[in-house]
Structure 1
């Protein structure tokens, strides 16, 4: 496994790696959309190295991988986990 690029590990804004066929990805994406969050979406079916980049960040093959500008990330977050992190980011 390769190390993630600095821009992947510390993106300028929230970045989500996912795929349309993944129900957890659709759920996390819907939460971000409902909260009107400005984020980048990396479609693992369209971006050739997207899955490799997500795995380099999380060390796992599960998706979604949601990366925050502070360098933290979630893999397969629950709605509660993702919402709490978003609330924390807004409060900071």
Structure 2
């Protein structure tokens, strides 16, 4: 299974929704909190080209945020990317 990394914030409803989808699929992921860490948020923004959370990577591919993750699921492509 591909490595999944999600930059998130504890109070972000989109982060919670994205993690719930991954959890429902039994996907292990590395969660990197940006709460109170402007340097970590800046690192994420530099890598993603966006400063909003969540920002999600599956393997080397930046898939974007919650909406993009759910769009991949609806299109039937998420499992393929995860290597499931």
- TM-score, structure 1 as length reference: 0.70
- TM-score, structure 2 as length reference: 0.75
Q: What is the alpha-carbon root mean square deviation over aligned residues?
A: 2.4
Higher mean alpha-carbon deviation, 78-87 vs 12-21, is at 78-87
2:31 maps to 41
Q: Is the 8 A contact 2:57 2:64 kept in 1?
A: yes
Structure 1: 5+ residue stretches without partners: 1-11
Structure 2: 5+ residue stretches without partners: none
Are 2:23 and 1:50 aligned?
no
Aligned residue pairs, count: 81
2:18 maps to 28
Give matches, 1:1-92, under 5 Å: 13-45=3-35, 49-78=39-68, 80-83=70-73, 84-90=76-82
